[in-house]
Amino acid sequence: MRPHFFFLLVLGVVNTSQAQDFTYQPQNPAFGGSYLNYSWMLSSAQAQNGFTDESSLLDSRFDRDPLEDFEQSLNRQILSRISRELISDQFGEEGLSEGQYEIGNYQIDVAPGGEGIQIIILDTTTGSETTVSVPYF
């Protein structure tokens, strides 16, 4: 009788155990996971990121060299003055006036437009064209 008792015991335990369905639930909110996981996933990814943004390091005011800043400022001022003198020599004291100009390999067309002055610069060697609109004030 003991083997039957053991069999009934095992059968009773098997009948009382319940199976469970396993379903996949994504964690990432971009793939259907809960939006509450977003901040945790972002902070986890940032903690694992070994790369640094070089441009943010260069933009810091405390990391820049004052002499380098002075040199860049001086270069900008010199180039600005040279460009003003070139425009004054080429186009006269009034600056650009309506017409067509040729400077080296460039053909420059200046015409009034609906919203401002249209300046079309054509590179005659490559055929590339650039349009600049200067709005009226």
* Domain residue ranges of the chain, discontinuous segments joined by +: 62-95, 96-137
Q: What is the pLDDT of residues 98-130, one digit of tens each?
A: 888 887 888 888 888 777 888 888 999 999 998
pLDDT per position as a tens digit, 10-51:
655 555 556 677 788 888 888 888 888 888 888 888 888 888
Predicted model pTM: 0.37
Torsion of CA 98, 104, 105, 106, to 10 degrees: -20
Contact indicator for 133, 117 with CB cutoff of 8 Å = yes
